[in-house]
Structure 1
Amino acid sequence: MITAVHLTEVSTEDATAWHAVVAASLASDLPEEPRPTFEQVHAQLTVVGRDNRRLLWLATAADGAVLGVAGLRLFTSPGQSHLAELELHVAPDRRRSGVGSHLLATAVKAAQTEQRRSLVAAAPGDGPSGAFCAAHGFRRVLALDHLLLDVAHADDAEADAEHPGYELAGWTGTVPEELAEAFAAAKNAMNDMPTGDWDYGSQTWTADRVRAMAEVLADRGDLLLTTAALRKGEVAGYTEIVIRAGETRRALQYDTVVVHAHRGHGLGLWVKAEMVRRLRAEHPGIVEIETDNAQDNTHMLAVNRRLGFRFHRSTHEYQLDLPAN
């Protein structure tokens, strides 16, 4: 008998079991990828986001053994309140025994109760997760390429390029107060990124929301680095890198944005090249950066290839359209 246990609070024992399932699942599906540490998983489960809520379940056997885990992220900002995002992992030796289907049914019911119309999940480009999604009525809505950059051998020459009227700025953690409003305005330019057939909605960034996002990362123990191109007090473009708590090798690319009115000047390549130099100087232990781009985001893919990013793997986003409850 399989039971989905809803976690209203996450104990150390719960987090340990969750981490064990996720680590085993990723080792099976993505054997060359680094596994998350216990500290990273614990922070993800216990640090609450400012614009979303999370529902968590453990799938247990009759003897209490944890067979699988599921997390449902419920977006709460007005432009995305229709959306829920699913993370689901089953221990490799318990797959094809109904554990995943049971967890999915539980999450779907919860999403409908929360009046969500779209449930999305990510799956590696190859492997059982995509087949599981397809078998349960999900449709593929977006294809992403994951790229890796060898920091030591990246082509950072563009950091020396001249961009008259623009200047570079950088900060760690929360945006400086004098740039908060301008940075929030620049973040809103992300709303025109390619999203395929994904029912993504839109995000509205304010200075308070920008600060809140940085606080969440800090509460998890993650380090947020930002490099921006400024023009007359306006943030014309920026790039963000996150180094997760306890990470010793790989940084994650977050947003890279150039505001529409400032496109066509090479600012995206400029700020990313400067970020490479910054990582070398400030965090020499970080040897690679991982990013992902929609396969039809030809401009950003070209920018990343100029820097030296190489194809690593692919991911597909799947969406289940939910009937009204």
Structure 2
Amino acid sequence: MSAHIHLTPLHDISAADAAAWHQVVTASMAHDLPGVPTPGPEQIHAQLTKPTLNSHRLTWLATGATGSPVGVAGLRLFTSPGRDHLAELELHVAPAHRRLGTGSLLLSEVVAACLAQDRRSLIVEAAADSPGEAFCEKRNFRQALALNHLILRLDHLDEATVSQVAEAEHPGYRLTGWTGTVPDDLAAAFATAKNAMNDMPVGDLDYGTENWDADRVRAMAQVIADRGDTLLTLAAVHDGGAMAGYTEILLPRGTAPRAQQYDTAVVPAHRGRGLGLWLKTAMVRRLRAQHPGVVEIETDNAEDNVHMLAVNHRLGFRSYRRTREFQLDVSAV
């Protein structure tokens, strides 16, 4: 049946290409992830056409015998030192066209591209107990990390907990925040704090390391702004000038009611003081005051990241789905 499928590498992506991609992704997510908001057409167009940070993207569109879109694959190839062995896959097949060889054809193209780009590891995320998980297991991917996705409903907060945490004293620390690009006087300290994420639990993923400096944190903010999203950051700064920790929230373009938690990290020398919970609680207050259209926040944590899970549960996050990160040893294919 796969003989009736035509694969097209996408280079200069047109509005029609982006619309076809959106059609497949929407159908796939509605089937596999009921209740999870699907990206809008503008988000998809920005994802496909705007630059990414320290990486580049390859994309393919699969069409059926009538020319209708039936599958898509996006491959992000990381380029920074410490991660230039790694590629990340997004693959969707419309439910009505599954089990016809489309996914296998797309994966073959992706693996060939990884080999051509000298990548040893390919990672992909799939919902637990989903068709995507079964697809990975049948094609020699191994499960490398289990993730717990949680939701915080801002109208279900325990106000007593929010007040208690937000108003607790943290001698020697102050909170500061910004939207978009970090202020110049904090850029170097922020980059140092970002490097604290390198010890986050990643299971058995061959994830590499990310090295941040002031230029890179500015570039990250620009990438997010260019695709139309808004990045909010709150940081805890020590009296000595070091940034002790930070938390980031992404607001998707438009008026999406669900915000996405990006990084939350506390630098090792400042852990054990409740700064993570303090930062996240202050961010909740900021969202409610400045962005009343946001009604919930989604985050995910490795299932063995017991500390951050405890922080999130204390604030009121509740589990609502699980995903798995799978990894393919490309050199062994």
Task: Give the alignment's TM-score, normalised by structure 2.
Answer: 0.96
**1:174 maps to amino acid:** T
Q: Percent identity?
A: 62
Q: 1:294 aligns with which of 302, 318, 329?
A: 302
Within a 5 Å distance, the mapping from 1:28-107 to structure 2 comes to 28-107=31-110
Distance (whole Å) between structure 2 residues aligned to residue 58 and residue 131 of structure 1: 22
**2:150 maps to amino acid:** L
Distance (whole Å) between structure 2 residues aligned to residue 50 and residue 310 of structure 1: 31
Counterpart of 2:162 in structure 1 is 156
* Secondary structure of 1:156 counterpart: helix
Q: 1:277 aligns with which of 263, 282, 285?
A: 285
Question: Does structure 2 retain, via aligned residues, the 8 Å contact 1:142–1:198?
Answer: yes
State the aligned residue count: 325
Question: Does structure 2 retain, via aligned residues, the 8 Å contact 1:115–1:324?
Answer: no
| Deviation sequence 1:130-169 (CA, Å, 0-9, x none) | 0000001100000000000011232422111100000000
Distance (whole Å) between structure 1 residues aligned to residue 213 and residue 7 of structure 2: 38
Q: 2:242 aligns with which of 222, 229, 234?
A: 234
* Secondary structure of 1:236 counterpart: strand
| Deviation sequence 1:219-276 (CA, Å, 0-9, x none) | 0110100011001221100000000001431000000000000001000000000000
Q: Does 1:14 find its partner at 2:22?
A: no
Q: In 2 relative to 1, CA 247–136 (structure 1 residues): closer, same or farther, beyond 3 Å? A: farther
Counterpart of 2:219 in structure 1 is 212
Distance (whole Å) between structure 2 residues aligned to residue 33 and residue 200 of structure 1: 26
Distance (whole Å) between structure 2 residues aligned to residue 156 and residue 202 of structure 1: 34
Counterpart of 1:111 in structure 2 is 114
Question: Does structure 2 retain, via aligned residues, the 8 Å contact 1:152–1:280?
Answer: no
Q: 2:130 aligns with which of 110, 119, 127?
A: 127
Question: Does structure 1 retain, via aligned residues, the 8 Å contact 2:145–2:203?
Answer: yes
Q: 1:174 aligns with which of 160, 178, 181?
A: 181
Give the C-alpha shift of residue 324 in structure 1.
7.2
* Secondary structure of 2:126 counterpart: strand
**Unmatched segments (≥5 aa) in structure 2:** none
Question: Does structure 1 retain, via aligned residues, the 8 Å contact 2:255–2:293?
Answer: no
Counterpart of 1:258 in structure 2 is 266
Question: Does structure 2 retain, via aligned residues, the 8 Å contact 1:112–1:324?
Answer: no
Distance (whole Å) between structure 2 residues aligned to residue 212 and residue 103 of structure 1: 31
Give the C-alpha shift of residue 33 in structure 1.
1.1
Distance (whole Å) between structure 2 residues aligned to residue 323 and residue 266 of structure 1: 44
Q: In 2 relative to 1, CA 149–121 (structure 1 residues): closer, same or farther, beyond 3 Å? A: same
* Secondary structure of 2:82 counterpart: helix
**1:124 maps to amino acid:** A
Distance (whole Å) between structure 2 residues aligned to residue 92 and residue 246 of structure 1: 28
* Secondary structure of 2:192 counterpart: helix
Q: 1:248 aligns with which of 242, 256, 264?
A: 256
Distance (whole Å) between structure 2 residues aligned to residue 153 and residue 205 of structure 1: 36
Moved more, 147-156 or 104-113: 147-156
Give the C-alpha shift of residue 209 in structure 1.
0.5
Give the C-alpha shift of residue 67 in structure 1.
1.0
**1:191 maps to amino acid:** N
* Secondary structure of 1:67 counterpart: strand
RMSD over aligned Cα atoms: 1.0
Distance (whole Å) between structure 2 residues aligned to residue 263 and residue 70 of structure 1: 40
Question: Does structure 1 retain, via aligned residues, the 8 Å contact 2:153–2:295?
Answer: yes
| Deviation sequence 1:104-153 (CA, Å, 0-9, x none) | 00001001100000000000012100000000110000000000001123
Question: Does structure 1 retain, via aligned residues, the 8 Å contact 2:231–2:250?
Answer: yes
Task: Give the alignment's TM-score, normalised by structure 1.
Answer: 0.98
Distance (whole Å) between structure 2 residues aligned to residue 126 and residue 38 of structure 1: 28
Distance (whole Å) between structure 2 residues aligned to residue 270 and residue 322 of structure 1: 42
